[in-house]
Structure formats: C-alpha cells, structure tokens
A and B are shown apart, each in its own frame.
Chain A
Amino acid sequence: KPVKKERTFVIAAVEFHRVETPFLIGLWIFFASLAKIGFHMAPKLSKMFPESCLLIFVGVLIGALLLSTHSVHVQPLTPDTFFLYMLPPIILDAGYFMPNRLFFDHLGTILLFAVVGTVFNTLTIGASLWACGQTGMFGCTTPLLDMLLFAALISAVDPVAVLAVFEEIHVDEVLYIVVFGESLLNDAVTVVLYHMFEAYTEMGPSRLEYTDFLAGLASFLVVAVGGTCIGVVWGFATGLVTRFTHEVRVIEPIFIFVMAYLAYLNAEMFHMSGILAITFCGITMKNYVEGNISHKSHTTIKYTMKMLSSSSETIIFMFLGVATVNNNHDWNTWFVLLTIVFCSVFRIIGVCIFSAIANKFRLHKLNRVEKFVMSYGGLRGAVAFALVLLIDPEVVELQPMFVTTTIAVIYFTVFIQGITIKPLVKILNVKTAEKRKPTMNERIHERFMDHLMAGVEDILGKHGNHHMRDKFKRFDNRFIRPFLLRNYQGAEPKILETYSKLAMRDAIEYMQRNASTI
C-alpha cells in the first residue's frame, strides 16, 4: 500500500532545474542582444571599435562574474554547439546572399588563396614553430606533428570574424569577395589538414608511411568535392520542393532553412566540409527559390536569415569572451609571441606570392593597397577556437597551451587588427563599396555586354569566364529552370525582376504622393 505524503496544494513554487537549459540559452541570447543595442546607443564607441571587440569584452566581464560567484558552471562554447548550432546560420546567410557573379568571376583567385595559401601557411607556421621549439626556448618538447596540427587550425582565416569586421568597413567589392571567399572555401582545407594531422599524431610519427600522405591528398578532394556536391544537390532539391508550395505559402521559409541545415548535417555526417555544403546549397537554391516563392515569404526568409546569423555571431563573440575566463590556461610567452609573429609574417608573404601568381591571370590586377588589406584582413576566429577545443589532451599533451595561444591569436587579430583596419582603410584610401540596386539601363546594357564579350571570346576561340558563364546559362535555361521553376519566364529573369521591382517602387511612390485618389 503506497504511503501518501500529506501535503497541501502549492500555489506557487520555484522549479528552476526543469527550465534551466532553455532558460539559460534564452538569457544568453537576451543579454547578447541587449549588449548589441547598447553599442548602437553609444555611437562613439561603435565608431571606434568593431562590434566583435565590444562583444568579446562584454563576454569577458560576464565570464569574470560567473567565475567569481562560482554559481553556474556552464561551459557554453563547446565545439558541438558551435559547429552544429551557431556556425550554420552565419554561413547560410553568407552563401544565400553571396554576390554570385562576383564570386564566380574571382573563383580562381579565391581558390588559389583558400587552398594553396592555407596549405602554405600551415606548413610554414608549423615548421617555423617546430624549428624554434628545437632550440628549447619554449621550455617543453614540441613534436613536429603537434606543431603542424596546431598550425592547421591557426592558419585558417575565419569567415565569422572576417564578415563581422568587413561588413562594417564596406571595402570595395572585389577585395571583399576575395578575402571573404577565401575564408569560406578554406574550410575544406582546414578540416582535412586538421583531421589528417590529428590522425597522424594518434598513429605516432614512426608508423607514418607515404601512402598516408597520398590518402590525405585524396581525402582533400573527397571532402571538398563531396561537400560541394551535397550542397548543390540539396540546393536543387529545395528549388524543386518550392515549385509546389504555392498552395501553402506559410511553410515556404521552413524549406529554405531546414533543407540548407540538412545539407550541412549531411556533409558533416560523412566528415565532409559542412561549410562548403551549406555555402553552395545557399548559392544554388537562391537561383530557383526566388522565382517560386511569394514576395512576403522572400522578405521573411531575408529577415529571419539576417536575424539568425547576426544573433549567432553575437553569441559566438560573447562566448569567446566568457570561455577565456573559464579555462585553465597555460601561458607560454615565447610560444604566444612567435605564433602571432609567424601568423602575420607568413600571411603577408603568402599574400605577396599568391597575388603575384594570380595577377598573371587577372584582368583586374591586385595592387599594393589591396594586397595589404588582404593580408591584414586575415582574421582568426571562433573556428580555430572550436577546433583547438576538439584536440584530445590525452593524445596531445600541449593542448592547454594551444588553447591559450589560440585565444591570444584571436584576441590579437580581432582587437588589434580589427580596431586598426578601419582607420587604415581610410588612410590608404582603399576604394569603398557603394550599395546600390541596378537601374533598368544598367541591367540591360550590362547583360548586353556579357553577351557581346561571350561572342568575342568565341571569335577568338578562347574559353574564358564569359564563355563558361554563357554555356552554363544556356544549359540552365534549357534543362534546369524549366524543371525547378513554377512559371518559367524566358532567358533573362533578371531583367524582368529589375523591371517589376522598379515598377512596384513607382507604384508605391505614386500612391504615397496621391493618397487622396485611392
């Protein structure tokens, strides 16, 4: 017979543990957003510092508070929360609103920097740190493979940090797309190099054979091409699904978000580059989705995407600040200093070498100022931090030192480079971008020029950019668009789009001016 406890009916009670996790998450987002509003109410502050610096600073304050009270033992920035929940919105936003034309025009340069440049940085930074370690100045043994593992994660330019800083300074679009494209595409290289060196350290240097290096090379191709293909396939699938949503308009946005996220997880599942997958998913789907969904859904998608990415970015920087205070640090002055020096020096050398190579093939040569901004804009960020936390301290004894050094490098690039880049851009007179929507004339005449140039390339028998784009467009218009779009409208959807946008604007203006006629 169960014993019934005698108690009165409780009118009010505190039951914190039941809501703890969602409540804390909500609180984090709330505070991060409040901090963001705060900066914009202090215009002097946000003019001097990039937002990311201020967010890290607030994070440090909160971390110090948490540490001193010993109350909540949260380790908010774990690699899993970062890679699965906070990174995808930012990258999707970047991919979906990517200026496609610009991206593909400069793809060669971007790939050169992202692939060869990152490998170059990893090897040079790793080797230099190892060589310095041999002299004994770090006061600990520094095996070559551990150094290379560390170099692999520290040499990747971070898309989140680059976006956060470059969005504010509005540099010229060519410069922007090269740095930003590099930060997105080097993910494939970083993931491969990281996993490769991680596996090598676990195997131990003595058992390495040359076949392992070949396997690394092969896995790079698989990770990059596989991730891209998964993204493109999901992108097409999204186009196809939205073709049939005209009866249920309210769920249109959900397909865009869920399918892009699935593409990301799908790629991560196979250890491929999730960043590449979601980037290319965004690039692909945008071409077809916009023709299918309603104007209102489009607005919803746009604002939701911007909101999600901006809040994740906010939270990431704040968490970086909090995580700094909470960790057990292992500060090694020489190691930190030399890492920062090598990161900056090899970035500059790399940019010089690779832009010299790229300039041989480019119409628009990268000049000295642009090279400088490119090497200076190579910011390190949360991807490096999440990756360094993933290292197993059992296998790599130096992990605590790596964590501290990574944080120091991130702080150096986000604070010193982030704060000085704005005035430097002004002093060096870097061309800044103007935001604009094309006029009817620009749309038509520029398209006309594209056709003209494609024709000239064909006359010359040269297969350049215009030729490839023309070929793709023709293929797209014949085989893809008719299947993925609900009402397929001719070969030049952009001209029609510009026209309808302008016509709509005219109509709204007319209504506002002559409100009484309605």
Chain B
Amino acid sequence: MGNKSSLLLREEEIAQIQEETGFTPNQIERLYSRFTSLDKNDCGTLSREDFLRIPELAINPLSERIVHSFFAESHDDRVNFLQFMRVLAHFRPIRKNKDNKLNSRDEKLRFAFSMYDLDNDGKISRDELLAILHMMVGANISEEQLTSIAERTILEADTNNDQMICFEEFCHALERTDVEQKMSIRFLN
C-alpha cells in the first residue's frame, strides 16, 4: 500500500507541503501512507469517523477535541492531506537556525488554547475549562469540586479580572513550562 500511495502524491504537491510545513519529503511520504491507510473510503479526505476508528484514540478522554482540531480549517467536515499536514506541523520539534512558521512556541500554545476555546472568542470561560476537566478527570469527582477547581484555575491566571483566561494570560501561566518539548513529536524519516 505504501508504494501505491506514494505514487499518488505528485512532486509539486510534496514541494508545496514541504514549503508550507517544513516536513522533509520522506516524512511527507510516510505520513501520506498513514493518511491513506486511515482513509477507508479511498476518497482522498478523512472524516471524523475515520479518526475515531483508531482504537486508542477513541478511548482518549480528549479524542473529540483532538479530532475537532483537525477540522478547524475545513468547511465540509472532511480533511484533505494538506490540512492534515498543517495540523501535524504544529508538533514538529523546534530546530535552531530554522525558520519556524507552524511549530514555534507561540503557535504550539495557540493550538492548545484553541482546543479549549470552543466558541472561538479568544477567551477560555469557566464552562469551557469545566468541560475539559470533565473529560480528563471523569467520574468519582463531585461537580462542586470540579467547579471550584475551575474557578481556582481561572482566578490564578486571570490578571485583568474578567473571569476568563485570554491567550496572553494563558501564555503567561505557562511561562515556566517547556512547551517546545512537551508539544513535540519525533517524526520518523
């Protein structure tokens, strides 16, 4: 299957993706073969169901959000290969002396932030945070306890007293975190 799929990817497409995302041609071909193996209907694009068919991803507490983040740019609930690669490019490790477009610290943080911020108003509200906490912490915890955790978290980061976390406050709260490390993956060549 790997051979067949790499044939389907034209040179200029590879060059364009390389230009835009910074992946090497080898990585692009490898990811393309993964892409086609996820694409069960062979239509060149992925649907939400295609993602959720991955067994481990389906039981990830954040699976819905992760899948959702791939569809941020698409209009018709399908992801093509270029969009798929653009999202993955956020997780490329940062290399010194190389121009970073999609994988800079700022972009990585923005990506994480947008996963919280469901309504795209540039702010994480209490309910948005609570929704994420619900997914991660799950059962056995009382609603009040989760609410107070969410409130405490917002209180801690909120510097302009609007009871929400905006992107600047989000970055500030994660100042000491090694985001470059935490949100990077070694893509195989």
A358: min CB distance to chain B, Å = 12
Asked if A499 is at the interface of the complex by the 8 Å CB criterion, the answer is: yes
Asked whether A445 lies within 8 Å of B62 as measured between CB atoms, the reply is no
A212: min CB distance to chain B, Å = 40
**Which of B136, B165, B185 interacts with A448 by CB under 8 Å?**
B136
Contacts of B140 in A (CB 8 A): 488-490
B92-109 contact mask (Cβ, 8 Å, vs A): 1 or 0 = 010000000000000000
Alpha-carbon distance A440/B57, docked complex (angstroms): 26
Alpha-carbon distance A507/B176, docked complex (angstroms): 25
Asked whether B59 lies within 8 Å of A445 as measured between CB atoms, the reply is no
Alpha-carbon distance A450/B178, docked complex (angstroms): 13
Asked if B4 is at the interface of the complex by the 8 Å CB criterion, the answer is: no
27 contacts between A and B (CB under 8 A): A362-B186, A363-B93, A436-B176, A439-B173, A441-B165, A441-B174, A444-B132, A444-B153, A445-B177, A446-B177, A451-B60, A452-B62, A452-B112, A455-B60, A457-B185, A459-B38, A459-B54, A461-B54, A462-B188, A467-B56, A470-B56, A470-B60, A489-B140, A490-B138, A496-B141, A499-B148, A502-B152
Asked if B91 is at the interface of the complex by the 8 Å CB criterion, the answer is: yes
A475-504 contact mask (Cβ, 8 Å, vs B): 1 or 0 = 000000000000011111001100100110
Asked if B1 is at the interface of the complex by the 8 Å CB criterion, the answer is: no
Contacts of B185 in A (CB 8 A): 363, 453, 456-457, 460, 462, 464
Asked if A474 is at the interface of the complex by the 8 Å CB criterion, the answer is: yes
User: 17 more A-B contacts (CB under 8 A) besides A456-B91, A457-B185?
Assistant: A361-B186, A440-B153, A441-B170, A442-B173, A442-B174, A444-B136, A445-B177, A448-B116, A448-B132, A449-B179, A452-B115, A458-B54, A460-B187, A470-B60, A474-B59, A490-B137, A503-B152
Asked if B118 is at the interface of the complex by the 8 Å CB criterion, the answer is: no
Instruction: Tell me the nearest residue of chain A to B156, going by C-beta.
Output: A440
Instruction: Tell me the nearest residue of chain A to B182, going by C-beta.
Output: A449
How many residues on chain A are close to B (CB under 8 Å)?
Answer: 44
B131: min CB distance to chain A, Å = 12
Interface majority SS (helix, strand, loop, mixed), chain B: helix
Asked whether A491 lies within 8 Å of B136 as measured between CB atoms, the reply is yes
Asked if A382 is at the interface of the complex by the 8 Å CB criterion, the answer is: no
Asked if A364 is at the interface of the complex by the 8 Å CB criterion, the answer is: yes
Asked whether B186 lies within 8 Å of A363 as measured between CB atoms, the reply is yes
**Which of B34, B137, B148, B173 interacts with A445 by CB under 8 Å?**
B173
Alpha-carbon distance A454/B139, docked complex (angstroms): 21
Contacts of A458 in B (CB 8 A): 54, 56-57, 60
Instruction: Tell me the nearest residue of chain A to B179, going by C-beta.
Output: A449
Asked if A296 is at the interface of the complex by the 8 Å CB criterion, the answer is: no
Asked whether B153 lies within 8 Å of A460 as measured between CB atoms, the reply is no
Contacts of B66 in A (CB 8 A): 451-452, 455-456, 459
B127-147 contact mask (Cβ, 8 Å, vs A): 1 or 0 = 001001100111111000100
Asked if B181 is at the interface of the complex by the 8 Å CB criterion, the answer is: yes
Asked whether B184 lies within 8 Å of A363 as measured between CB atoms, the reply is yes
**Which of B37, B116, B181 interacts with A364 by CB under 8 Å?**
B181
Asked if B183 is at the interface of the complex by the 8 Å CB criterion, the answer is: yes
Q: Identify the A interface with B (CB < 8 A).
A: 361-364, 434, 436, 439-442, 444-462, 464, 467, 470-471, 474, 488-492, 495-496, 499, 502-503
A246: min CB distance to chain B, Å = 19
Asked whether A440 lies within 8 Å of B136 as measured between CB atoms, the reply is no
**Which of A453, A467, A499 interacts with B183 by CB under 8 Å?**
A453
Alpha-carbon distance A445/B109, docked complex (angstroms): 10
**Which of B38, B57, B129 interacts with A455 by CB under 8 Å?**
B57
Contacts of A492 in B (CB 8 A): 136-138
Contacts of A448 in B (CB 8 A): 62, 112, 115-116, 132, 136
Instruction: Tell me the nearest residue of chain B to A461, going by C-beta.
Output: B34
Contacts of B181 in A (CB 8 A): 363-364
Asked if B157 is at the interface of the complex by the 8 Å CB criterion, the answer is: yes
Asked if B31 is at the interface of the complex by the 8 Å CB criterion, the answer is: yes
Asked if B88 is at the interface of the complex by the 8 Å CB criterion, the answer is: yes
Asked if B9 is at the interface of the complex by the 8 Å CB criterion, the answer is: no
Asked whether B133 lies within 8 Å of A459 as measured between CB atoms, the reply is no
Asked whether A451 lies within 8 Å of B62 as measured between CB atoms, the reply is yes
Alpha-carbon distance A449/B90, docked complex (angstroms): 13
Asked whether A490 lies within 8 Å of B174 as measured between CB atoms, the reply is no
Alpha-carbon distance A491/B136, docked complex (angstroms): 7
Instruction: Tell me the nearest residue of chain B to A449, going by C-beta.
Output: B182
Instruction: Tell me the nearest residue of chain B to A443, going by C-beta.
Output: B153
Alpha-carbon distance A492/B62, docked complex (angstroms): 14
Contacts of B88 in A (CB 8 A): 456, 460
Asked whether B157 lies within 8 Å of A441 as measured between CB atoms, the reply is yes
Contacts of B187 in A (CB 8 A): 460
Asked if B61 is at the interface of the complex by the 8 Å CB criterion, the answer is: yes
Contacts of A362 in B (CB 8 A): 186
Asked whether A440 lies within 8 Å of B152 as measured between CB atoms, the reply is yes
Contacts of B37 in A (CB 8 A): 461
Asked whether B141 lies within 8 Å of A490 as measured between CB atoms, the reply is yes
Contacts of B186 in A (CB 8 A): 361-363, 464
Asked if B149 is at the interface of the complex by the 8 Å CB criterion, the answer is: yes
**Which of A451, A459, A460, A464 interacts with B61 by CB under 8 Å?**
A451
B90: min CB distance to chain A, Å = 9
B46-58 contact mask (Cβ, 8 Å, vs A): 1 or 0 = 0000010010110
